[in-house]
A and B are shown apart, each in its own frame.
Chain A
Amino acid sequence: MMITCQNCQHKEISGAIYCSKCGAQLIDAHVSTHKIRTAETRREVERSTIQLQPPPSPPLQSWISLHIIESGQILPLTDRTEFTLGRSVEGQPIVPDVDLSPHNAYANGVSRLHAAIKLVKNQAVIIDLGSSNGTYLNGVRLSPHIETLVAHGDLIYLGKLKMQVLIN
């Protein structure tokens, strides 16, 4: 059973960890996601019933935006109806549509492919993609791979990374 490198299509024999041709990592993306303790996340989630400011109005050209609470930054998601959220890693062929690395994703326990946001029948849904540290919607942990509706102002946790959904 040969392994095919997703990055350069080079074939490696089973058991290889890095592609000998391009150096990309060949094993499961979750191996080195920073583990955070579940209890820690729970506590954070519980504490997060903090009063949020009324959400800032989203930029017009995008149907949905993410408001990163910690930095106050707003990430507009444009031009598409489906986005993957995660953290890019050097040498990895998997690059999420929304790369959260600049937002301290690693320390917050965000997986490389953590979750996806989609527009389904004109409604926004979120899907956890089997992440290591889980996706929480308004304090409730989502079952992986199941679509859940999100509404304007909802609070999402990817691991410990907090963000608010702004829907246009």
Chain B
Amino acid sequence: MTEKQDLYALLGLTRNASPEEIRRAHFEAARRLHPDTNRAPGETELFLDVQEAYETLSNPQKRTKYDASLPPEKALGTLLDQKILFSRQSLLRSDEPQVIYVMMELAAPVGLKTRPAPPLNLCLVLDRSTSMQGSNMDVVKATAVQIMRQLKSQDVFSVVAFSDRAEIIVPATHSTELGKQEARIQMLQPSGGTEIFSGLELGYNEIVRNVNRSQVNHIILLTDGRTYGDESKCISLAQQASKQGIGISGLGIGSEWNDNFLDELASLTGGSSMYIPRPQDIQHALLDKFNQLGKAYAEETRLEFESSEGVELRYAFRLQPEAGLLSFESPVMLGPVIWDNSLKVLMEFVVHPEAVQRTTATLLNGKVSITLTDQLPPLKSIPIQLVRLVLDETNAEPPPVEIVHALSRLKLYRLQEQARLEVTAGDYEQAAEHLSRLATHLLAQGERGLAKTVLMEAENIHQRKSFSQQGGKEIKYGTRALLKSGQSAEE
């Protein structure tokens, strides 16, 4: 039996799905694939398959018979190589909370031949406010044109520009028909303020017209300014986009933009955020992002779980391919799995006494859903369950080196994160202290430039009770970039 004929996979379900889950999955798939509304070729046939699958799975007798005919369930292995490491081999039966780290690594299966790049459905949402005047605008335009020329025949491309209001510069067009659109990009003139929502909304509309799960749907937002008052509207739009498999990545130029906001857009949708300090770095960053999209094996991975009683996911961070903070609540958008670099996520769980009463404790029970770019929808999913034994004594075994190394880097990012929270809370003393600790670690690791910036910011906080726009970003994205080097600095 080939994978496409697996009725559960067809509905994006695992084999232990409840009747209610089956009903819901069918409803969603049927609505999306209905011949009246579907878009891509092949979807009508898929719709019929989905109907058939539902007929079998919704009938208990037929389902039992079908289950018996299935080959033993293949693990995630056939779709993704996975590796899960725990910081401790067992938990302690204790009346105090304890913490455990889990590192999850997902990669394209070893030995699988690299397939050609997936089709892209890409929209560039470009800030054209007055502040972009000069080299920023010139580089952005030139890079947009460069990307346009690198598109492959199956790609769909659109460009939206925004200031106080937004305008479609290039409507969603198949790359073969783009023809004279280059000139329209070249004619962009900066003027006006920055209202991100108007731009994001138009960009979203262009993407949605061609949205299709078997391609990479992505919005790249490029801005140098701060948007006022419409953040929450942007966030709801991002949540909507995320449900439809559309990623959003934010590229911030200079020091004025709102980094927390762009980080949130990215973490909600499985995209990434990037800090571009100088105009000359725009081209590199934008092309990098574009190339990254073309390397997707799985366009999107999503961790859905039910929280167990007494277990709290306190922190989740993607270490690679693109470092970034993740959501701590289900669903966690993990982002794409690319061909040449695994997806690595580090999670921190706090386990409270009520969770360690029995012989085992479940940290997380859920599934990883993935969208493979070269296969027809719907999502495929793999059950995932993180369970540890509970013992009466401490296990002395040291944590895996990989986890220790990752944490040795992540702690730097988290020190600055804490300092930020403390500044917001008005605890300037503590913030400055955290920063000076951070500087010590950075100095010891030979990061003199960054250490100096950190010390200057500590001084700044004493005097002006806030981070400077630029320093704050340099520290945040500087410590984040250190994660990329992957190697531990401790040794």
Contact = CB atoms under 8 A, between A and B. Distances in A.
Contacts of B399: 17, 27, 31
A15 B99 contact: yes
A91 B444 contact: yes
B414 interface: yes
B412 A23 contact: yes
A60 to B, nearest CB: 35
B44 interface: no
A1 B96 contact: yes
B445 A13 contact: no
Given A23-B415, A91-B444, A17 B404 contact: yes
A22 B435 CA distance: 9
The SS class assigned to the B binding surface is mixed
Contacts of A16: 99
Contacts of B87: 15, 17
Contact of B490 (A12, A20, A28, A89): A89
A61 interface: no
Nearest to B418: A20
A53 interface: no
Contacts of A18: 407-408, 411
Interface in B444-491: 444-445, 488-491
A21 B411 CA distance: 10
Most chain A CB inside 10 Å of its own CB: which residue of B92, B399, B437, B489: B437
Contacts of A31: 398-399, 401, 404
- The bracket for how many chain A residues form the interface is 20 to 34
Contacts of A106: 491
Contacts of B408: 18, 25, 91
B434 interface: yes
B350 interface: yes
A34 interface: yes
B401 A90 contact: no
A90 B99 contact: no
B412 A32 contact: no
Contacts of B350: 13
Contacts of A12: 99
A1 B415 CA distance: 24
A71 interface: no
Contacts of B411: 18, 20, 23
B63 interface: no
A90 B398 contact: no
Contact of A27 (B96, B97, B398): B398
A30 B491 CA distance: 12
A126 to B, nearest CB: 25
A14 interface: yes
Contacts of A14: 92, 94, 96-99, 394
A17 B407 CA distance: 8
Nearest to A92: B490
Nearest to B400: A31
A2 interface: yes
B101 interface: yes
Contacts of A20: 411, 414, 418
Given A13-B98, A14-B97, A20-B418, 18 more contacts: A14-B96, A14-B98, A14-B394, A15-B88, A16-B99, A18-B408, A18-B411, A20-B414, A22-B437, A23-B412, A23-B415, A23-B441, A25-B408, A30-B398, A89-B490, A90-B444, A90-B490, A91-B444
